[in-house]
Chain A
């Protein structure tokens, strides 16, 4: 009973093919030498990757996405690391409620967040600004930053800290020289996962982005709404490549299985 029969393996093969097919087809079409959407049947060409250079709005959007992802994940960690240390180490009134609040952006539909942020930032005069995008992204990536940092802080061996305290370290020195290095793998993985979430978000960002602050997914979405051509497949292939790089980083520092296991809790 422990072995899969031929029927199960056939099902598995079809399942995997269907899961991979859409991503594969995007990457293949990106290399087409033709001027229209087609699979590259006669040779591969980088033609459509070079064409991206003629569309400065895509390149600009890429830098916006990259900067937004890097910065908002960093800012989220500035708030998340102290919060994670408090939640991991203390039993205090309201601890569960706080944790639930901090994880709540996972459960609120991003379209609702987009609307709430659009209204809010317009009313405080930040509508369409990069600052507004950063603040909004800090909120949506916060749960991911918090969760991985929390896991690291909970599993940390605190005897090292006590040794440092007995040697006279305190406050900031204790944190910077002892605590932070110990939880650093969790913090870096939290940053990488938060970056991916920010880099990929469309639903919320599409409400906030204005010309000039459009992120890559927003730019791609608006482009696809008008027409689908090989250009947008080559841009997508680049996006997939960036995500893969972040994934490899995550795998090296943390183990992808642990990251994904955490992601399965979304919506609970």
Chain B
């Protein structure tokens, strides 16, 4: 690659990236920094935002059990959603991978396509399916004999987790699918010829190899679920708050921006720590696979 005209000018890459860099510094980095600063400002019902440096908002979040409960709910919902997507998504990716060509691409499209369809529309679908005590889901479960009396899905964490798992499922299937593509199909045959049964093959051959895919999918699903807004807001209603919906309330209803900024900053910091930390752990544990 000798592009003399280009290489003579060492400033070319900077000239090409400068507009985007300026945009990102001006409109992304500076606003993010001011948001962190905002969380240290004071706020009062009548005086509005006062640009002073106090720890009032952070102190309130740390001491008021309401916030502890809300953050705990946020992470509980995210963890259970992640578990649900892993338990169902990983086997599904495996089954998909064993299908023949045309069916494989058809079902891959059916399962991954929803990724690009409006989250509001998908959550609305769940709201319709749940819909009160005589919703379709309850009717179906009762007619199948799974349960005797209807259970509430709307405005509960159960409903929130089911709908979120549906929204996030494509990410998990995609991630496990990518891991399966690196797997040599002959290994399964080799194990079988050595006398391993199907359970052993799945447990000793398949599982260890797709685990990195499951874990990286889990990180994506967890971080997106913990910061999800539309699904918790529609299914959870006005009472069942998670971090994103609470920050929204503080900003657009209570108008206590500094407190809302503190909630958002804490969410961002917690997520960055969790994602970076678990990424490092996974890479150390599975260094072999990533090499």
Contacts and interface: CB of A to CB of B under 8 A. Distances in A.
Contact of A256 (B109, B166, B185): B109
A111 B227 contact: yes
A115 B128 contact: no
Contact of B118 (A12, A120, A162, A217): A217
B186 to A, nearest CB: 11
A21 B188 CA distance: 34
Contact of A206 (B24, B115, B192, B229): B229
Interface stretch (A41-49, A51-59, A80-88, A181-189): A80-88
Interface string A226-268: 0010001100100110010011000000001100110110111
Interface string B16-45: 110111011001101110110010000000
B128 A162 contact: no
B110 A20 contact: yes
Contacts of A158: 1, 3
A267 B224 contact: yes
Interface residues of A, number: 91
A21 B136 CA distance: 11
Contact of B110 (A16, A80, A203): A16
B216 to A, nearest CB: 7
A221 B231 CA distance: 10
B86 interface: no
A244 to B, nearest CB: 8
A82 B19 CA distance: 9
Interface stretch (B52-60, B62-70, B145-153, B257-265): B257-265
A116 interface: yes
Nearest to A217: B120
Interface string B196-212: 00100100000000000
A115 B261 contact: yes
A165 B118 CA distance: 45
B37 to A, nearest CB: 10
Contact of B120 (A12, A107, A115, A221): A221
B166 A18 contact: yes
Interface in B103-120: 105, 107-120
A203 B234 CA distance: 12
Contact of A109 (B234, B244, B279): B244
A27 B279 CA distance: 39
Contact of B227 (A3, A109, A228): A109
Interface of A: 1-4, 8-9, 11-12, 15-16, 18-26, 29, 37, 78-80, 82-83, 85-87, 89-90, 92, 95, 98, 101-102, 104-105, 107-112, 115-120, 123, 135-136, 138-139, 142, 158, 161-162, 165, 170, 196, 199-200, 202-203, 206-207, 217, 220-221, 224-225, 228, 232-233, 236, 239-240, 243, 246-247, 256-257, 260-261, 263-264, 266-268
23 contacts: A1-B188, A8-B91, A18-B166, A22-B122, A22-B129, A79-B20, A86-B12, A95-B13, A101-B24, A107-B275, A109-B244, A112-B265, A115-B251, A120-B34, A138-B23, A138-B27, A217-B120, A224-B120, A225-B233, A236-B118, A243-B117, A247-B113, A267-B219
